[in-house]
Amino acid sequence: MSTPADQRLTARLARLSPAQRAALTSRLAARNGPVLGPRPGPRDRFPLGMDQERLWILDQLDPGTTTYTLGYGLRVRGAFDRDLFRRAADNLVSRHELLRSGAESEDGRPFLRVHPDRRADLTYTDLTREDTTEVPAEEIEARRTEFIAEQVRRPFDLAADPVLRLAVAKVAEDDHQIVETMPHSFVDQWSYVRLNEELLEHYRALAEGRAPRVPEMPVQFGDWAHWQRERFAGPHGAGHRAFWRTFLDGVPQRLALPYDHSPDTTDHVGEHYNFTLDGTVAEAFFRHAREARTTPATAMTAVYAALLYEVTGQRDLIIGIPTSTRNEPEAEPLIGFLLTSVPLRIKLPEDPAPKDVLAAVAASAAAVADHREVPFGEIVEAAAPDRATNQYPLLQTMLVQLDLDDSQTLELPGAEVYANAVPEGISTMDLTTAWWRVGTTVYGRIEYRTALFEHATVAAMADRLLQLIEQFTRHPDEPLRRPVPALAAPPAPLLGG
């Protein structure tokens, strides 16, 4: 005999759409899957994460490449103790087994081996002197820029080299530049934030003679990698793969981006174009998003989708969205590659207006919401696209939205620390657009492959993005333009960054 509570639950379940019922089933199945905890077996080796393995394969196909090296910069203004920094780095590495690991293979299958005594690779350079000669002050900034560039040009041997490199350069007595480089298969941007929060806390603790205030680590990256593989090996993974197979059925194999040169190239040399959205315009845009009952991230994605529609003429679009796979609370303190690429497929009606694009993006985001943690390699296998050696599978463009404040000041005893950019000079995607907010201002960057696009073409696209933001805000019912006049004619020189 059912109770009133049972009857209410049955009635609610009956009102669910097929998609909602499938999402609920997926969530319940996930709860019944393996529990994230210490892995069984030996502690000196563990499997790669599933997305990490994809990057390892790319490294094996092109040994010595720096295409997948990720850098991060810190500028320390004030007192800096080299010995304390070395000890802080050692304490950081001793806490994270991934930072003491190297990628090896056995019978063609990769694994990570933990080296108990491995330390970070830390070097020190004095930019103020050349041998015994003092360098003129006006030359030091150029030397600092070249110093940063040199670090990301150094390749990694994933089996033999320490995966964390810390290069410190003295710019002045009270000014030091730190460049951190790691193979992308061992780190992502979210992990770099955690790495530096912990590294600086270890430094502060040593300087102040106390224990570091760092989060508990119930699991290590190897435990998470083992758990991830166990989880996707069973029905949970099969359900996700079935979703992506259906969601991406018939997806275009390539976006008709406004290439200036043939896309049939493997050259990934990259440049970037910076632009800024005025604070007043940004606030009006985000206010409009709130009134439309959507998030700033969805609204920004819709603007980018509108640009892609205008420059390609395609109404079936796909945008890659980098997404963290730190869904379990135990994974929060981990450093590693805990990232996947979610292919957001956006289907537009004929002659779409901004409101139509916004609705299409919101619908797509809702559809994939319960399938965002799936490793990208699993999605690719499920979609089974035509593969080209010179082309990233499924995706030609990514949209990155960072909830980071680049103006944030991180303090050390007697010094302030600022995060600064480390240009890698590489673009893995044909186009990658990024947005981030600092106070009331929104900054943007389009990273592009120089073998495919001229600087002026990218500048024109950035200019059109800014125009579209205003159109979304002021004229959401006005149809989008096709083609974009600025891109219909041969590219002309434009001012810009």
Q: How far apart are CA 203 and CA 394, in angstroms?
A: 43
Q: How far apart are CA 108 and CA 261, in angstroms?
A: 37
Confidence of residue 485 (pLDDT cuts 50, 70, 90): low
| Domain range summary for the chain, segments of one domain joined by + | 45-221, 250-406+423-488
Percent of the chain with pLDDT over 70: 88
Judge whether residue 130 has pLDDT over 80: yes
| Average pLDDT over every residue of 410-421 | 91
Confidence of residue 440 (pLDDT cuts 50, 70, 90): confident
Contacts of 193 (CB under 8 A, 6+ apart): 404
Among 236-240, 450-454, 482-486, name the one with the lowest average pLDDT: 482-486
Confidence of residue 64 (pLDDT cuts 50, 70, 90): confident
Q: How far apart are CA 479 and CA 315, in angstroms?
A: 13
Q: What is the pLDDT of residue 360?
A: 98
Judge whether residue 406 has pLDDT over 50: no
Judge whether residue 486 has pLDDT over 50: yes
Judge whether residue 492 has pLDDT over 50: no
Q: Does domain 250-406+423-488 have CATH number 3.30.70.20?
A: no
| Average pLDDT over every residue of 33-47 | 91
Judge whether residue 14 has pLDDT over 90: no
H or E element: which one contains 283?
helix 279-291
Confidence of residue 10 (pLDDT cuts 50, 70, 90): low
Among 347-351, 400-404, 429-433, 464-468, name the one with the lowest average pLDDT: 400-404
How high is the mean pLDDT of the chain? 90
pLDDT in tens, 294-308: 999 999 999 999 999
Judge whether residue 34 has pLDDT over 90: no
Judge whether residue 2 has pLDDT over 60: no
Contact yes or no for 279/441 (Cβ under 8 A): yes
- Same topology, domains 45-221 and 250-406+423-488? Answer is yes
Judge whether residue 348 has pLDDT over 50: yes
Judge whether residue 497 has pLDDT over 50: no
Q: How far apart are CA 172 and CA 175, in angstroms?
A: 5
Q: What is the pLDDT of residue 404?
A: 53
Candidates 232, 202, 208; CA nearest to 96 is 202
Judge whether residue 19 has pLDDT over 50: yes
User: What separation in angstroms does the CA of 396 have from each of 153, 263, 432?
Assistant: 24, 10, 8
Backbone angles phi and psi of 5, in degrees to 5: -65, -40
Backbone angles phi and psi of 180, in degrees to 5: -105, 130
Between CA 355 and CA 358, with CA 356 as vertex, the angle to 5 degrees is 65
Q: What is the CATH number of domain 45-221?
A: 3.30.559.10
Judge whether residue 413 has pLDDT over 60: yes
pLDDT in tens, 329-344: 999 999 999 999 999 9
| Average pLDDT over every residue of 12-25 | 58
Q: What is the pLDDT of residue 317?
A: 98
